[in-house]
Structure 1
Amino acid sequence: MKSDQLPTSRRMVLRIAAALGATTTFGLFALERTGTPARPAPPGAAGPPAGPRLGAPAGPRLAPSSYRLQPMTAYAPPRYRRALPPVRQRPFLRVSGAGRSMVLSFDDGPDPQYTPAILRTLREHDVRAMFFVCGEMAAVNQDLLREMADDGHVVGNHSWSHPLIPKIRPSRIRDELGSTSDLIERTLGTPPLWYRAPYGAWNRHSFEIGAELGMEPLAWTVDTLDWKEPGTGPIVRRVLDGAGPGVVVLSHDAGGDRSQSVAALRTYLPELLAAGYHLTVPRR
């Protein structure tokens, strides 16, 4: 049996897990906290164009950088709307009372080598997902941003250059998030309503600035660890073993060789659907 094929017993476990979920509507979420240590951000990482805010002119385009390090935390969201006070102190982690719903999310893109294949697979199965994009990648791949939105996916903010947020000044956090929100709004017509801290490393300033920009913080429940390039089989197993009502899955469509992530999605997505899961995104 190949490493990325599932035995009948595992398929049965998935179906049973899906059946245990209540059939309430997607939109209520639980807050939890877990953590894994983060490694330092790469020295000399390029920052965003300083200064721009909503509606401001575009800053200079920056070349994509190599920024794939270990995520630090795990978390997930409420309803898809503009953030309102009070400012949150933790990101959302898990869909609460969502029945058979799960969320697939992809970070670090868009990347012209891997993102189109992920979009095609999602389109083939009529599934929506969340894409947390980096401004420096989105600036040179705005056509892929439009394709995401046209297909009904949620485009979120993952900073401009993927820095380790707790290590930078509040003014730079504002530039990282603000510049990326500006770019998304100029490209799609509306600003993002969700953001995810690089490496899952949040701090008080990031929550406050994100709220000022009208965004809710979203992390994840299941980390595929695809950024380690462990092979297609291990990625598939992590998703299927972690599947359950309310789960938010973290994968990547950029930041390295993501061919394994692309191949894994083609395997685990039909398995999840066959097990009765509804892959969805938060709605307005």
Structure 2
Amino acid sequence: MNNQGNVNYGIFLPLLNVYGDQKTIDCFTQEAMFDGWLKAESALARAEAEESIIPVEMAEKIEQAAHISSLDLKDFWEETRNVGYPIIPLVNRLAEVAGEAGKYVHWGATTQDIMDTGLILQIKSVLNRLEQLLTDLGNACATLCEQHAETIQAGRTHGQQAVPITFGFKVSVWLEEIQRHYLRLQEVKKRLLVGQLSGAAGTLATLGEKAPFVRKRYCNLLGLNEPQGPWHVARDIIVEFSNMEATISGTVQKIAKEIANLASTEIGEVFEF
């Protein structure tokens, strides 16, 4: 960690930049995390201003201040350890930069509203990248299916040669898995890309009768779906995302292992050219 509070992830994950997809890695940097939190605070202020809960000019000042480049992050994580939550030191710094508008920062929200919404914004970027990667992989497999529809190779069962198949036929099995993953991703998006704004106990009572309107506008500003209710303690959608990632990884690992086996010197049925 340097003097600005930035964590050098490469120290702890030395192979990340070797095997990871850089655009996906960028979605989970410290900067991306702060950016998600600040976008949530900014959207909250604007939504509340539109409902006349806070003055419009105060919301504008908060929006102008809500950028990571505006904040002094020195000792940020030490303060976080003291209080147990990162949003308190974040709000304190944002309020300081916002000046007279600082007293309206985080108005009516609770820590987890901002943390959960920020996380979903990060995951949204990941899903967009994952969708592109699945599309590219599917297109590559579809091309191989066409090119090698009549390329004969041995079919195998229990590691032994069986009846003849074609390489295109083999790749078509990979393609079907990838297509199913793509469809799963679309389904997961509907449930996962949901904002969080429910207040300390889930009722958002601090905003009174205007609470539903603020929450709807807050989510709209962030490009997220509105939740049916608070999900502070409902983590199944996060688990569903993790399960989908694991399932996709399993397919990709299987394909890579099969290619490695077929490319071995003793078999030599596939090769790079």
- TM bracket, shorter-chain basis: under 0.3
* Structure with more of its chain in helix, by fraction: 2
TM-score normalised according to structure 2 size: 0.22
Larger radius of gyration: 2
- Larger RCO of the pair (alpha carbons < 8 Å, separation 6+): 1
